[in-house]
């Protein structure tokens, strides 16, 4: 009886733990959430898929979402850490206007493998991967061109892909566009030190002063170790209202029902293996204002005025310099690094009216 009682107790405990994990979504089957209509029911003809395919020799994954797969296709390039799970807290409703491919690039998220060395992830490789994924989407959805939208670190190689193969794209949309990232980090460091002094945050002041960022000295390892914490604490990181990486990104990623437990481990395996970004050193050494001076397709740049992850004034400076047949710059007054998530209604209107309409009627007037 004692052995039976122990077995029964162990089974009950395991059941309780399993129920808790399922209820909190820490344990999930990873099935994509359905695309629903205004009535809350799955949309007729809606598309909600998790797709894996071979991209230049590496198995890579993405989420596909649309209310109607006949709508224009948009490929979204995330900024280093996959962002699809954030749409559960910050709905973008991109799928109302596009067939959206939330691709998780080589070495990240669904596409992470410990067998891929971070040194092998270069802008040239990611440009090649972007063009391969673009061709997959063009073929699958029967269209000559798609829209390319990139965020943060994704803009570094996304802009270059658009410049290299404009015949594949209707337009390029950059959110938190990188330009001269080394100078951006200098400005971010100066701002964070100044604000920490104003707030009397002595511990952060000491840590920042020990790791100065300069054009000649670059970004010390000690600075990178506190960069995300300092930016989020001051509301100039991922989102204006997101003050902690732990509560704003880590826990939501683990609770997402659209990733299996193994896929959730891949999310953070990719993040930890590449540090800030697999392209960090390359992006610091590159001024896109000197390397991509012209696009032959429409250019749209969306930027939060409180963004210090990728400098707002440097993005504006790049916009004023780059040549394009049609271009528009859009300032988001209540946003930091992610206008699409922070001010979704305005972003949606810009994408619907200007990007799909081929105009810049809503752009800043300077």
5 pLDDT more than 80:
no
- pLDDT at position 361: 98
83: helix, coil or strand?
coil
Distance CA 168, CA 163 (A): 10
**What is the arithmetic mean of pLDDT over 134-144?**
98
DSSP string of 178-240?
Answer: -SBHHHHHHHHHHHHHHHHHHHT-HHHHHHHHTS--BTTTB--HHHHHHHHHHHHHTT-SS-T
% residues pLDDT > 90 (the chain): 83
The 10 Å Cβ neighbour count of residue 51 is 15
Distance CA 124, CA 157 (A): 8
- CA 302, CA 324: separation in Å to the nearest integer? 16
Q: Which residues of 193-208 are buried (b: 16+ CB within 10 A; e: fewer)?
A: bebbeeeebeebeebb
Check residue 359 and give its pLDDT: 98
How many residues comprise the chain?
366
CA separation for the pair 122, 260 (Å, rounded): 28
Q: How far apart are CA 298 and CA 166, in angstroms?
A: 10
The string of DSSP codes covering 256-320 is: -TTS-HHHHHHHHHHHHHHTT-TTHHHHHT-BHHHH--B-SS-EEEEEETT-TTTTHHHHHHHHH
- pLDDT tens for 214-226 read 999 999 999 999 9
- For 275-327, what is each residue's pLDDT tens digit? 546 789 999 999 999 999 999 999 999 999 999 999 999 999 999 999 999 99
Is 6 a residue whose pLDDT tops 90?
no
- Contacts of residue 166, defined as CB under 8 A and 6 or more positions apart, other chains included, come to 295, 296, 297
Residue with tokens 């900024």: 79
- The strand ranges marked E within 215-264 are none
Over the chain, what is the mean pLDDT?
A: 91
Sheet holding 146-151, edge to edge: 47-55, 58-66, 99-104, 73-77, 146-151, 169-175, 299-304, 327-332
SS3 99: strand
User: Which of 273 and 261 is assigned the larger pLDDT?
Assistant: 261
List pLDDT tens digits, range 37-49: 877 788 888 899 9
Owner of token pair 């089974």 = 11
Report whether pLDDT(60) > 60: yes
What was the pLDDT predicted at 24? 55
Distance of CA 352 to the CA centre of its chain: 20
pTM: 0.92
């Amino acid at each position: 009886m004692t052995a039976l009682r122990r077995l029964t107790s162990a089974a009950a405990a395991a059941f309780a733990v399993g129920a808790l994990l399922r209820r909190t979504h820490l344990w999930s089957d990873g099935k994509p959430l359905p695309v629903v209509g205004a009535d809350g029911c799955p949309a007729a003809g809606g598309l909600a898929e998790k797709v894996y395919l071979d991209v230049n020799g590496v198995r890579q994954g993405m989420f596909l979402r649309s209310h109607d797969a006949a709508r224009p296709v948009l490929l979204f390039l995330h900024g280093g850490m996959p962002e699809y799970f954030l749409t559960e807290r910050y709905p973008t409703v991109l799928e109302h206007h596009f067939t959206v491919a939330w691709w998780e690039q080589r070495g990240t998220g669904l596409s992470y493998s410990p067998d891929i060395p971070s040194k092998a992830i270069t802008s040239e490789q990611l440009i090649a991967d972007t063009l391969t994924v673009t061709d997959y989407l063009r073929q699958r959805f029967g269209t000559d061109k798609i829209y390319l939208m990139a965020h943060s670190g994704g803009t570094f190689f996304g802009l270059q892909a658009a410049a290299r193969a404009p015949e594949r794209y209707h337009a390029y949309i950059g959110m938190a566009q990188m330009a001269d990232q080394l100078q951006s980090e200098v400005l971010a460091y100066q701002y964070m030190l100044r604000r920490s002094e104003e707030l009397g945050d002595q511990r952060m002041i000491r840590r920042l002063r020990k790791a100065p960022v300069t054009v000649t000295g670059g970004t010390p390892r000690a600075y990178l170790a506190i960069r995300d914490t300092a930016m989020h604490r001051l509301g100039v990181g991922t989102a204006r209202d997101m003050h902690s990486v732990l509560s704003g990104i880590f826990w939501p990623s683990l609770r997402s029902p659209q990733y299996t437990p193994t896929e959730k481990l891949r999310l953070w395996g990719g993040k930890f293996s590449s540090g800030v970004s697999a392209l960090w050193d390359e992006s610091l050494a590159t001024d896109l204002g000197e390397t991509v001076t012209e696009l032959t397709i429409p250019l749209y740049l969306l930027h939060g005025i409180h963004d210090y992850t990728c400098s707002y004034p440097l993005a504006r400076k790049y916009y004023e310099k780059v040549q394009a047949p049609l271009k528009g710059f859009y300032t988001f007054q209540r946003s930091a690094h992610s206008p699409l998530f922070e001010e979704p209604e305005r972003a949606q209107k810009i994408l619907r009216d200007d990007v799909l309409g081929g105009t810049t009627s809503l752009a800043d007037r300077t």
